Amino acid sequence: MSLLEVKQVSKLYGTFKAVDNVSFKVEKGRIFGLLGPNGAGKTSMIRMINHITMPDEGTVTFNGQKVDETTQQRIGYLPEERGLYKKMKVGEQLMYLIRLRGLSKEDARKAISYWLDRFEAASWIGKEVGDLSKGMQQKIQFVAAIAHDPDLYIFDEPFSGLDPINSETLKRVIIELRDRGKTILFATHRMEQVEQMCDDICLFNKGKAILSGDLRSIKQRMGRNTINLEFHGDGSFLDELENVRIGNRSTNFAEIRMLGNTNPQDILTKAMENANIMKFELVQPALNEIFIETVGSDNLKDIKS
C-alpha cells in the first residue's frame, strides 16, 4: 500500500522548472531512493512532500491525505542544509526539537536517552552543539529527525560529512527502521548507497523522473551484461577492447560493460593472453551503468559510485 503518492508534480522558480511533471509512489515499509545529480530536483521534490513549498502543478498525498501542516507532524525530516543552534546544549536542543513534534517532556526524554545511547553519544548531552565535530552534529540532527517515531522518514543526503564508520552505523539504523515496518525516503547522488539499501528507486535528471520502480526488477531487466574482472598483470589490454565501456577500474580490477553483441568469451580470451585471471564474473549492471544507459554519460558528472 502506498504511504506517499506524488502525481504529475511540477515546480517552477521563475522560469526555471526544478521539477517537471513527476509521478511516483512510496510503499509502506520500504526504503525508497531519490537518485540523481546535484541540481536534478531531488531537494525541491522533498520540500514539497514536507509542505515547505507548494507544487505549481499536481498533487502530493500522504496516507491518502493531501499534504499540509498536519502531515508534517507525521514525517521525520533531515534536510541537506543542517541547522542546529550552536550555543544550545545537545540535550536542550533535542528536547526543544522533539517536543515541537508533539511529544511530552517525559516521552521526549526517553527517546533522547535511547537514541543517544544507540549512537554511543550519551556523554554529549551536556555539551554545546558548537563544540561538536561536523559528524557528531550530524548524528544529533539525525536523532532530532527520528526520535518522535514518525510514519515516514525523509533524509536528504544523510551521509554527508560522515566518516566510513559513522556512515555504516547510520546505514544500519536506517535498515533497522525499515525492518521495523517504517517507511524511508532518502535522496542521494551516491550510487553505492542506493544499491546497498534501497528497495525502490526514482532516478531524477534535469527535473524529470526518468526511471522508477523496484530496484531488483530494474536490474534484472538489464540482464547479465557486465563483467567483473580481477587480474594480476598489465591492464593495458583493457584499452584495446572493442564495443565495451569500462566502469570502475583500478590496478587489478575492471568493471566491463558489454555493448551490442559483444561475446564475453572474446574478452576472457584477450584477458588471459595478457594477465593472470583471478576472477571473471558475469553480473547485472551496477546502478551507475543503468543511469548512463538511461540518460547518457554527459549527465554523470555529479553522480558518484
Neighbours of 101 (CB within 10 A): 19
Question: What would the pLDDT profile of 159-172 be if each residue is shown by its tens digit?
Answer: 887 888 888 888 99
The pLDDT confidence band at residue 261, using thresholds 50, 70 and 90, is confident
Burial class of residue 188 (count of CB atoms within 10 Å of its CB; 0-12, 13-18, 19+) = buried
Q: What values do phi and psi take at 273, rounded to 5?
A: -75, -15
CA-to-CA separations, 239 to 256, 274, 296, in angstroms, rounded: 11, 12, 21
Strand (E) or helix (H) holding 42: helix 42-49
CB neighbour burial string for 257-283, b if at least 16 within 10 angstroms, e if fewer: bbeeebeeeebeeebeebbeeeebeee
Angle, in degrees to the nearest 10, between helices 90-99 and 105-118: 130
**What integer pLDDT is reported at residue 155 of this predicted model?**
94
Q: Would you state the pLDDT for residue 190?
A: 78
Please answer whether residues 30 and 203 qualify as being in contact, where contact means their C-beta atoms are separated by less than 8 angstroms.
Answer: no
What percent of the chain is modeled with pLDDT above 90?
A: 65
In the predicted structure, residue 292 carries a pLDDT above the cut 90: no
Per-residue pLDDT reduced to its tens digit, 27-75:
999 999 998 888 889 999 999 999 999 999 999 999 999 999 999 989 9
Q: Which three cell numbers stand for residue 64?
A: 491518502
CA distance 19 to 130: 35
- Quick check: helix, strand or coil at residue 127? coil
What is the chain's percent helix, strand, coil content, to nearest 5?
A: 40, 30, 30
* Grid cell in block for residue 73: 507532524
Higher pLDDT, 265 or 136: 265
Burial class (CB in 10 A: 0-12, 13-18, 19+), 148: buried
The span from the CA of 291 to the CA of 198, in Å, is: 16
Domains of the chain: 2-220 (3.40.50.300), 224-283 (3.30.70)
**Per-residue pLDDT tens for 179-229?**
999 999 999 887 777 888 999 999 999 999 998 999 989 888 878 889 999
| Residue 169 CB neighbours (<10 A) | 15
Burial (Cβ within 10 Å: 0-12, 13-18, ≥19) of residue 288: buried
